[in-house]
Chain A
Amino acid sequence: MLEELYKEMAQSIIDGDSDISAELAQKAVELKMHPLDAITNGFVVGVTYIGDQFGKGEAFLPELVMAGEAMKAAIAVLEPELLKLGESREMLGRVVLATVEGDIHEIGKTLVGTMLSASGFEVIDLGVDQPADKIIGKALEVNANLIGMSALLTTTMVRQREVIEELDKEGLRPRIKVMVGGAPITKDWVDKIKADGYSEDAIGAVKVAKQLVGKE
């Protein structure tokens, strides 16, 4: 019976069905199941499966994104229960993510966010066109250990440097690490602005993020 329920939970993630995953999470609450059991033995199994399939090239981005959404829906139900027990999920790290000021390119940043969440990071995605003070303010507010900045224009990549300089001025590094990315970003640029890490794609971004928070 329990095994059946775990399977259904995993399947709801694989199907990317947020309604069902939330329903199953609710059922777990009603059955007085420990929230972490439901997450680890049920929902996460689905996320891992989709992640593996994606890695093999057999699942596609929309499936990954929808699995992420379904996971979020389940967590939204289970997290309050977990808090009641005085416990929390173990995350790899907390990331504040944004596309820099003056830049509205969104897709790459969003994909990086999707991959990071799917890999166990807590991601706060601020969206596009975000000024330095907003990014830093949010990172301080949520006590993030990583700031991720996307820039796709040669005219806006300088904003990445501004954020780093500001963090240094406030003595916030190395407590907060900085990862950057986007079409014009090269290794040279990353060295020049003294960012902690960069990646050319979203899968690489997960690897870099894990290294930066010391989880690899």
Chain B
Amino acid sequence: MSKNIKTISNPKIKLEVLTQDDVKKIHEATLQIIEKVGVRFPSKRALEIWAANGADVDYEKKIVRVKPQIIEDAIKKAPPAYKLAARDPQQDLQLDGNHVNLGTDGCGVEILDINTGEKRTSCLQDVRDIARVADATEEVAFHWVSLSAQDTPVESRGLHELKAVWENSTKHVQTESVYNVEEAKAAIEMAAILAGGKGNIRERPMLSLMQCTAPPLGHDGGSLDAALLAAEVGIPTGFMTMAACATTGPITLAGDLAVGNAEVIAGTALLQLAFPGAPVFYAAAQTASDLRNGSYTGGGPEDFLFGAATNILADFYNIPLSMGAFATGAKEPNWQAGLEGGLSSFMASVVMSDMLLGCGFLHGSRIWSFAEMMMDCEIFSIVHKMMQGIVVNEETLAMDAIAAVGPGGHYLGQKHTRKHMRELFMPQFMDRRPYSEWETKKDDARDWALAKARKTLKEHQPDPLDAKISAEFEKIIKSVEKK
């Protein structure tokens, strides 16, 4: 365990949602899709890389069709494991298949104000506050830039957000809010300053980049160009598919997996063809669409199954995975939010997804809630505990204690109990009080979680970022802002 970070490792629970044969079928379908149907790459640079590597490129439609061998060879060049560096090296994270690292959710548009509880448009101060609270929790291992700083200029917004997180936390930062060339160049400059030079980024990447694919079977031009710039300098870069059954993907789960896989694998292959060995990751937040209003469900049984299936695919390609979890459609922290957070995080953790996104959001990744964040952290802790499984040995069989207590009596007075009692899970937000106490107070998890966030925000002081670095960041940001 790194300093102040709780990650899941050495899992004792296993789950096989896809057999090796299933994986093979999905892989073959994927290669066939990329070869026959093609994938859209609306970026001049990307199309040129494909053409130079023997792909069939339709420049007018910007669709690329690629022979399986080219894809398979390219994917093999991707490193299977690497680390995400943090400002505090003791908080570096291993993406090695044996760690599940929790991140916050990202890029939301509104927030339930921590003081008034009212829903309002997100701003830069919110990004700072969330980073600070996340810095203090041991569950959050890295940040996704949580909200859009809508009080900053559009053209530099993604950079203001990055600066805000680095200034308020020593943990690794991942962004999905940098999706054009200008901002990507500036973000790389910032990462270079933190690493002590552009050449050191590969060794100490304190920034990673997540780009969405554009399902079905496409990519976004700005995202592609940003990803290529990042991959070139060794910033870990991933493509996330959100192919959703019925709208942007086939209605059947296997078909949806194949479409999403084709997007991610084609994008990943592009990065490897351009920069062999660049650190890349698979990212996914596949789900179903609601049949009545088309909304992105971000929960429900299909979503949970995707959570467990995707790491099996990522393992097959031998690259780390960032898996979307906790995305609930609930409008406030309630039954639905708890259910969706619990099952989605469990299913994605049990297969050892390297990165688990993202705590804190309501309403389909749109509204931030500090209470939700804290309760999601507790859910992660519960999953963390469950993944340790049941240890069976002489000590845990407790034969001496059993003999000492005998039939009848109790175990409260046993040394064995005292020795192991702290191994039991101690919830922070579960109500186990007498009914009468609840009746007089009528409070619950939401109140306690919010109170904890408020206290943390008031008290926690993260190690500050060197003022000189802040000033340099400021200069970089100014340089991309319109005069």
Seen from chain A, the residues whose Cβ lies within 8 Å of a Cβ on chain B are 54, 57, 60-62, 102, 104, 106-108, 111, 154-155, 158, 183-184, 186, 188, 201-203
Say yes or no: A61-B248 contact (C-beta < 8 A), given A154-B150, A184-B109: no
State the 3 A-B residue pairs at the shortest beta-carbon distance, nearest first.
A60-B291, A184-B109, A154-B148
Is A155 a contact partner of B157 (Cβ separation < 8 A)? Answer: yes
Q: How large is the interface on B (under 10, 10 to 19, 20 to 34, 35 or more residues)?
A: 20 to 34
Is B220 a contact partner of A61 (Cβ separation < 8 A)? Answer: no
Task: Compute how far the CA of A60 lies from the CA of B293 in the bound complex, rounded to whole angstroms.
Answer: 8
Task: Compute how far the CA of A102 lies from the CA of B291 in the bound complex, rounded to whole angstroms.
Answer: 28
Is B248 a contact partner of A107 (Cβ separation < 8 A)? Answer: yes
Instruction: Say yes or no: is B121 at the interface (Cβ < 8 Å to chain A).
Output: yes
Is A183 a contact partner of B366 (Cβ separation < 8 A)? Answer: yes
Contacts of A111 in B (CB 8 A): 293-294
Instruction: Say yes or no: is B191 at the interface (Cβ < 8 Å to chain A).
Output: no
A196 to chain B, nearest CB (A): 22
A68 to chain B, nearest CB (A): 14
B144-164 toward A: CB 8 Å interface, digit per residue (1/0)?
000010100010010000000
Is B214 a contact partner of A201 (Cβ separation < 8 A)? Answer: no
Task: Compute how far the CA of A166 lies from the CA of B432 in the bound complex, rounded to whole angstroms.
Answer: 61
B113 to chain A, nearest CB (A): 15
Contacts of A104 in B (CB 8 A): 214, 220
Is B157 a contact partner of A108 (Cβ separation < 8 A)? Answer: no
Say yes or no: A155-B291 contact (C-beta < 8 A), given A61-B246, A183-B366, A184-B109: no
B162 to chain A, nearest CB (A): 15
Is B293 a contact partner of A202 (Cβ separation < 8 A)? Answer: yes
Contacts of B248 in A (CB 8 A): 106-107
Instruction: Say yes or no: is B292 at the interface (Cβ < 8 Å to chain A).
Output: yes
Seen from chain B, the residues whose Cβ lies within 8 Å of a Cβ on chain A are 109-110, 121, 148, 150, 154, 157, 214, 220, 222, 244, 246-248, 251, 289, 291-294, 366
Is B157 a contact partner of A61 (Cβ separation < 8 A)? Answer: no
Task: Compute how far the CA of A43 lies from the CA of B220 in the bound complex, rounded to whole angstroms.
Answer: 39
B221 to chain A, nearest CB (A): 9
Is A183 a contact partner of B109 (Cβ separation < 8 A)? Answer: yes
Contacts of A106 in B (CB 8 A): 248
Is A62 a contact partner of B291 (Cβ separation < 8 A)? Answer: yes
Task: Compute how far the CA of A134 lies from the CA of B366 in the bound complex, rounded to whole angstroms.
Answer: 30
Say yes or no: A61-B154 contact (C-beta < 8 A), given A107-B247, A184-B109: no
Task: Compute how far the CA of A60 lies from the CA of B110 in the bound complex, rounded to whole angstroms.
Answer: 30
A-B contact list, 11 entries, CB within 8 Å:
A54-B292, A61-B246, A61-B289, A107-B248, A155-B154, A158-B154, A184-B109, A184-B110, A186-B110, A202-B294, A203-B293
Partner of B121, one of A57, A62, A186: A186
Say yes or no: A61-B294 contact (C-beta < 8 A), given A154-B148, A155-B157: yes
Is A154 a contact partner of B109 (Cβ separation < 8 A)? Answer: yes
